[in-house]
Amino acid sequence: MVSAFNISTRFVLLGLVELEKQKYLYFSLCTIVYMFILALNGVIIFAVLKDRSLHEPMYILIASLLFNEIFGSSSFFPKFIIDLITSSKEISRTECLIQILCISTFAFLEMNTFTIMAYDRYLAVCQPLQYAMIITNEKIMKITYGCWGITFVILILLLLLTASLPQCGNKINNIFCENMSLVVLSCIDSSNSSLLSVAVFFTCLFTTILVTVISYSKIFFVCVKLSRESRQKAVHTIMTHLLSFSVFLIGVLFVVFRYRLGNVTLPLTVHVLLSATPLVVPPLLNPLIYGVGTHVLKLRLRKYLRKVNLSGEWRQIHIPPTKS
């Protein structure tokens, strides 16, 4: 029995096999979507970095969130697009482990950022006089870097645990690698590894939901006592954040439903496309939500886009006709 254990050096992505017949359609769509994600998120990040009036905690957090969107989508799209055009169906073990680390980091940082944003809005609305002393740009940057560091260390430990499991197969029912896709290939009882990964993820998720619900509940009760103009401004900001968080949460629920129902009731094509939802929908919609929903940010974006448009215009020089 022990001799049957092995560590696969390459894995076959069965999701790519399923998409083979329509690979050019998916290649075109994914290339366009990825370009939009890079452009939309990049423009807002540039605006926040360039404009000193946007060097405030809320906009730093928005830029951090959108940078994470680029990071997350880039851990999936380039490899997937190349696989489609080259008809490659395999991924090396090293590439698979790196992709798992990047995608997991994206998911955890997304939750951490939403948690910080909820607390930031709570302090801004409920404790406006103390807000400037409690939340500063330096503190936000330290918290952001801390989240990246802690998340990376935790995920490295979980990944090492997954990587140590011997596999009895090399076929993954997906279009990319994720932690559970390797765990289910284990030849030995992997329930402890699976439970630990699920426990860490859902602890982080429930913490995010709890902090978000408590923060916005308190903000709601404070908003009732504000003037109409202040209330509308606060509610508009809250709805923007809640909409963004809801987009991410829906993506997570799709993945949960995929694991619960996918193998039983859904075709493999739908199965694998649902798994990619958190890597596609939030990175595409969040820059639109914040770019359109945040008034100050929208004005700055218009200003920079107008400058780009003017600088790119060709000025025609009028040469009067010569007199004969």
- For tokens 């302090």, the residue is 123
User: Considering the domain boundaries, does residue 36 fall inside one?
Assistant: yes
User: Considering the domain boundaries, does residue 278 fall inside one?
Assistant: yes
> pLDDT digit of tens for each residue in the chain (324 aa)?
444 555 667 899 988 888 888 899 999 999 999 999 999 999 999 889 888 888 889 899 999 999 999 999 999 999 999 999 998 889 998 999 999 999 999 999 998 999 998 899 888 888 888 888 889 999 999 988 988 888 889 999 888 888 888 778 888 888 999 888 888 887 777 677 778 887 888 888 888 889 888 988 888 888 777 777 766 767 777 787 888 888 888 877 777 666 666 555 667 777 777 788 889 989 998 998 887 777 777 777 777 777 766 655 434 444 445 444
Do 20 and 84 touch, CB atoms closer than 8 A? no
User: Considering the domain boundaries, does residue 62 fall inside one?
Assistant: yes
User: Considering the domain boundaries, does residue 315 fall inside one?
Assistant: no
Q: What domain range is 146 assigned to?
A: 8-306
DSSP characters over 231-255: HHHHHHHHHHHHHHHHHHHHHHHHH
DSSP characters over 273-285: HHHTHHHHHHHHH
Q: What is the pLDDT of residue 29?
A: 94
Do 64 and 144 touch, CB atoms closer than 8 A? yes
The predicted model scores a pTM of: 0.85
Q: What is the pLDDT of residue 319?
A: 42
User: Considering the domain boundaries, does residue 229 fall inside one?
Assistant: yes
Compute the distance between CA of residue 219 and CA of residue 131 in angstroms, rounded to an integer. Answer: 14
- Coil, strand or helix: which one is 174? coil
User: Considering the domain boundaries, does residue 322 fall inside one?
Assistant: no
Compute the distance between CA of residue 174 and CA of residue 153 in angstroms, rounded to an integer. Answer: 26
Instruction: State residue 10 phi and psi, 5-degree precision.
Output: -140, 150
CATH for 107: 1.20.1070.10
User: Considering the domain boundaries, does residue 318 fall inside one?
Assistant: no
35-48 CB burial, b ≥16 within 10 A, e <16: eebbebbebbbebb
User: Considering the domain boundaries, does residue 134 fall inside one?
Assistant: yes
With vertex at residue 114, the alpha carbon angle to CA 293 and CA 37, rounded to the nearest 5 degrees, is 60
What's the structural domain count of the chain? 1
Element (H, E) at 94: helix 93-126
Residue 166, strand partner residues: none
Do 95 and 18 touch, CB atoms closer than 8 A? no
Q: How far is CA 278 from CA 89, 107, 246, 284, in A?
A: 22, 8, 11, 10
